[in-house]
């Protein structure tokens, strides 16, 4: 074999090797993409998310499952909400929930009961920040659902309570719904959207609550 033939053979073998490596890389990429994990959305909340006083399957979290399915978004929704829970309770439960469900997204809907019980605002903020950071450290994207208190709590307290969620979202770079009950608690006909206790939204309000959450959640799912 002369030098020209040797060079020609080397070039041909090199092209074949490159082609094989490229094909292998493409196949690996396709395999990885095909096995991309579907989102797991963990909701950690209180009675507003735990279907308190509602027929099972009519709360906003269940409506979220249905809406995502309708929109052809494959996702698992885990509702870990407990009626009466506070940010301290959520903080105590979070590590086990993250380990058990390994969520890609965490929705934190807590804080309302802290206000109802008159708990220190600093504790509420510290707990929300800790939960957000812990979820982010576990690889999840976090959406905070902000709350507000009724006017009878006083203007100053109300502003400081609402600011907690803004501050935590800014400091942790988490997504935020400024007021989870917008259009429900502050609407012109709010009374018709609440149960007899005037604390918990009724079934009619649940789609409105979902509509407050979904735009921000979908941004995180992209």
Show which residues are catalytic.
47, 197, 200
H or E stretch at 201: none
Q: How far apart are CA 186 and CA 150, in angstroms?
A: 9
Q: Are 107 and 143 in contact (CB under 8 A)?
A: yes
Q: How far apart are CA 64 and CA 60, in angstroms?
A: 6
Burial per residue of 8-33, b for 16 or more beta-carbon CB atoms within 10 angstroms, e otherwise: eeeeeeeeeeeeeeeeeeeeeeeeee
What lies within 8 Å, CB to CB, of 45 at 6+ separation is 61, 79, 80, 81, 82, 85, 90, 107, 108, 109, 110, 145
């Amino acid at each position: 074999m002369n030098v020209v033939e040797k060079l020609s053979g080397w070039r041909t073998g090199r092209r074949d090797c490159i082609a094989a490596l490229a094909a292998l890389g493409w196949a690996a990429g396709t395999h990885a993409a095909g096995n991309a994990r579907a989102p797991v959305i963990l909701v950690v909340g209180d009675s507003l998310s735990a279907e308190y006083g509602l027929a099972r399957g009519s709360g906003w979290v269940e409506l979220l499952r249905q809406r995502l399915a309708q929109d052809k978004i494959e996702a698992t929704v885990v509702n870990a909400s407990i009626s009466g829970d506070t940010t301290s309770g959520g903080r105590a439960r979070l590590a086990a929930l993250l380990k058990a469900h390994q969520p890609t997204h965490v929705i934190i809907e807590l804080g309302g009961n802290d206000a109802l019980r008159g708990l220190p605002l600093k504790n509420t903020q510290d707990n929300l920040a800790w939960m957000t950071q812990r979820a982010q450290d576990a690889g999840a994207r976090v959406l905070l659902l902000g709350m507000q208190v009724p006017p009878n709590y006083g203007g100053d307290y109300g502003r400081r309570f609402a600011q907690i969620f803004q501050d935590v979202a800014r400091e942790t770079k988490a997504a935020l719904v400024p007021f989870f009950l917008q259009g429900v608690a502050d609407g012109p006909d709010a009374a018709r959207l609440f149960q007899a206790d005037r604390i918990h939204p009724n079934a009619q309000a649940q789609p409105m609550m979902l509509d407050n959450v979904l735009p921000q959640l979908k941004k995180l799912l992209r």
